[in-house]
Structure 1
């Protein structure tokens, strides 16, 4: 199979992500790609997830600057990087950046920048962003030096902070491992930290320019902006100190039984009025997945009208499970008038969902710190009007956007049947690695929801790679060239094995949260399980994600147990047990083949193997992906492969 065909199979696009260059300075390593540093480690331990120079437009879209004059020099003691970069803004405006990165064997790294515009340049943010990892760092002690010189000893939050946990930052120091401290010093402007787990990013982000200042703002003509980040690692360990070998260095990833358990939630698919015709055809065919719930989206602001309910009713009539309506309430007229009008139109088409989730349309727009909350009726009034208009229908609330908005505007859930929110992994970055890393943040999100709402029934999704809506700007970003674009309304990886791996990891990440319903996809369209006519993936046009969603739906309501992988950033796993039968799910989250040791969980002589990978996708039949082979204690998984090992 050609490299081009393989790339499309994995990512849904042949456009390659820039391959990072690994650089060393003594015990410090860093990956350099696209002008930025990521995966900065010391003695094998990640100390910073990234140091990036970021320029954002008025909709919080991220510019992809053009690099030139790149020079990388490596010596025995360290490395030096220099480059120029240019951002092209609207109306012919440009921003030029000159960068210099230096690192030595003593544990010190500096990243300097000078940005200047000959035309003036509008931006929401221009400058450095630093990402602290969350695994091993959340809840730990840090020392914070503020801009005025005051030093504060505090802890990074465990539960997700809705606002900035640290402001007016000049430096922050944390302990990476016993005897090793890491100071990140920021000069040239005032920095602050936000808890990026709100958006499912696996990091605390320290960024330039407080959000309390106006945005967008204009960089004036020919006025340079100078900034510098200095990373200083202090190693106080004695030379004889030995640290246990990191699991990262092991060539085989070992699986062991976990202690947590949960129930696989009901699996749902979202259906919009735009996709009614295609969805009806897909469900009517023999190929439709047998999910438990269908989530119908209705938004008058998007032009949806009463005709949508006729299509919803036709689909509900052939669906064997429950149905839910998510309704973006316009709140432009008296609430009772709006709600009763929608209820009458639904009755006229015999559309009678089992549940309705209502959210004021305006609440989908984020209100960042320092911003004025938009006018909105009290949520108690919204829910009361909905309860009156839809008697006997289970009523849910929350946010049609992300956990960020639910965390910042906590809904009065006392009389609600359930709470709900969505996630998207490309709010801030669209790199392959950062998307998979968002899986680390999901348990923190679900624990934070439980801390707020207790045991209230909890629904999660639609949660897809691409964004359905942009709460942080006026639009989602178009992606006609099938690139990796933050905040894009289409993402090529949804078509590839990448999405299948991500969805499997997603389900594994939230298993112990008591999720009632999980929505990971639409049925058709850009978020769908079925490919368009111009995307021949397998016979029947089923994307790889189809097989994962169908498989998870088969497990709905079953008890699942967590499985611990020796390197959870590379492999995730869970298992189900019914009487004397068990099924072990394993997913490779990375772009490289790896070996998994299942010897503590599987008896190879009694097991059957089913794999979803590049080879089985090529051999897929109408009845699904089948690859039954000899099971050994060690299993080789190709990139983004999902394996099911069944033992009877």
Structure 2
């Protein structure tokens, strides 16, 4: 990271992540961080995104274990690691994990762990998670060895698989590069794989303990739980170059023009009853953004009632665009009765949205494999009730939560005018790298939605770094300390340039989906482009994400042209062609290091000493082009 930049500007906190330690064994290299392995490469090619030993609580929150007795030995031909990890659960329950990791040049990586509790320990999951990358792997052949010894030749899913693609796993083997394969063998329990792209994670996750078994479960006091992961390689190449165990750094990213074209989506802002008053007070800021869509959220189970619609109606009149009413229908009475009551409240207050998105509140609750689906009225009945109560508006459906729930409960699209869902990047991991890597999964999500719903008008959002709801547990996680934690209802990076870069990277990643509308923030509050009254930042202060949201709102309806990045893990780009202005190339650095970018054959409107630009960490740049 560039030393001159205050970490607070980048991350909204001066607490920075401890960088990983790079370890090597011949052609193999790994990053060791927080007790786990990341970025496992062979000859510079990513083999596994991670091998981690994780302990999850009853809400699927991930413990951050205390590590002691850490010993790391990097030798000439390999490395070894040993440590103790300690987790403290509710009621002072404890869990201790003894870990040993080793690798030798030409040999295997071995990651062993033994867990023991003196008190007994409740958990939803305790054991290994192995992450395979998706780029260059999705849709490719793979061999799966099952616990009964049977081998299955199959493929990694291309479109996102709603349920586990592979079960009862003992080992998985895939091709790393021509004539090089990697086998990951998993011992000590039965493993299965889920397609983590459902949650916008950029990985396939193989994990311990099948979801069909009861959870949470208890590790008995004094009982040892041992597991082992062995990653080995077969390299049949005839000619071997010198090991490329460390990826090249400092190489310029090249941007070239692609063949895809499209139209920029409308930009939305979400308005909740809790932020309605602050939104009215920030009307000047709303006018500066000029969003095409306001998404008004309403959830009777959260205490929202008839009193909110006066403010909703007043806010809707502040802007020239359209408005959508998002309803989490309680379904405690008949859908018809509930919809009619809400419509009467709206009419009395003079709130007349242009569209409604309706979904049973219970559908925000995730139903994992092996679980019983909660009681819910047929969606056809819910949609018919909405049509009756709101006869002159467009009707949208899908999920108020995430693509995961939409993929697992595919709503009937016939009655609907458009499909909608959200995403969230901190469901499973909240470190900086994992959050930015979720951008890799977005094109797979949008392509999967298109495979299900064809050319049905399609909206995404609100999709923010902080989590507004948790379908996988009883609550989102409070984050008063401002850390990087999964499933948190506030996140410090939303205050920094990190969020500005993430939002533009998000827009670039979903351009090809032909979205009708994209919503990436609220106006105020913990999800807003400006800070609210109850936050550490001064009320009304513009966050850096304001710049991205306002820029994208200004480009709505413009044509866009594809830009191809030689390293999309570092820099993303596209060209926008506003009807009333010059074409511009938008560039975003989604890394914490400065990136040198070569602009290829693009015709720049201004003379430059060279056809390159340096992007500082998480920087966004606009360059005018000649038409």
RMSD: 2.0
In the alignment, is the contact (CA less than 8 A) between 1:508 and 1:562 conserved in 2? Answer: no
1:621 is matched with: none
1:415 is matched with: 415
Matches within 5 A, 1:507-546: 507-532=507-532, 541-546=541-546
Structure 2: where are the runs of 5+ without partners? none
How far apart are 1:533 and its partner, in Å? 5.5
Work out whether 1:597 is the aligned partner of 2:598. Answer: yes
Cα deviations across residues 333-363 of structure 1 (Å, max 9, x unaligned)?
Answer: 0111100000000000000000000000000
Cα deviations across residues 24-74 of structure 1 (Å, max 9, x unaligned)?
Answer: 010111000100000000000000000000000000000000000000001
Distance in structure 1 (CA, Å) of the matches to 2:5 and 2:536: 12
SS of match in other structure, 1:542: coil
In the alignment, is the contact (CA less than 8 A) between 1:94 and 1:119 conserved in 2? Answer: yes
Distance in structure 2 (CA, Å) of the matches to 1:286 and 1:225: 55
How far apart are 1:284 and its partner, in Å? 3.9
How far apart are 1:382 and its partner, in Å? 0.4
Structure 1 pair 16–209 and aligned structure 2 pair: CA distance change class (3 A): same
Distance in structure 2 (CA, Å) of the matches to 1:19 and 1:172: 30
Distance in structure 1 (CA, Å) of the matches to 2:542 and 2:247: 36
Work out whether 1:637 is the aligned partner of 2:588. Answer: no
How far apart are 1:602 and its partner, in Å? 3.4
SS of match in other structure, 2:474: coil
The alignment covers a number of residue pairs equal to 625
Structure 1 pair 167–468 and aligned structure 2 pair: CA distance change class (3 A): same
Structure 1 pair 223–590 and aligned structure 2 pair: CA distance change class (3 A): same
In the alignment, is the contact (CA less than 8 A) between 1:607 and 1:631 conserved in 2? Answer: no
In the alignment, is the contact (CA less than 8 A) between 2:146 and 2:168 conserved in 1? Answer: yes
In the alignment, is the contact (CA less than 8 A) between 1:171 and 1:186 conserved in 2? Answer: yes
Shifted more, 315-324 versus 4-13: the winner is: 4-13
1:581 is matched with: 582
Distance in structure 1 (CA, Å) of the matches to 2:85 and 2:93: 14
Work out whether 1:51 is the aligned partner of 2:51. Answer: yes
1:607 is matched with: 606
How far apart are 1:601 and its partner, in Å? 1.6
Matches within 5 A, 1:564-579: 564-578=564-578
Q: TM-score, normalised by structure 2?
A: 0.97
How far apart are 1:598 and its partner, in Å? 0.8
SS of match in other structure, 2:425: coil
Distance in structure 2 (CA, Å) of the matches to 1:237 and 1:436: 34
How far apart are 1:631 and its partner, in Å? 7.0
Structure 1 pair 555–132 and aligned structure 2 pair: CA distance change class (3 A): same
In the alignment, is the contact (CA less than 8 A) between 2:282 and 2:540 conserved in 1? Answer: no
In the alignment, is the contact (CA less than 8 A) between 2:43 and 2:245 conserved in 1? Answer: no
1:225 is matched with: 225
Structure 1: where are the runs of 5+ without partners? 609-629
Distance in structure 2 (CA, Å) of the matches to 1:499 and 1:92: 36
Q: TM-score, normalised by structure 1?
A: 0.94
1:331 is matched with: 331
2:28 is matched with: 28
Distance in structure 1 (CA, Å) of the matches to 2:337 and 2:308: 19
How far apart are 1:261 and its partner, in Å? 1.8
Matches within 5 A, 1:144-543: 144-240=144-240, 249=249, 251-285=251-285, 288-532=288-532, 541-543=541-543
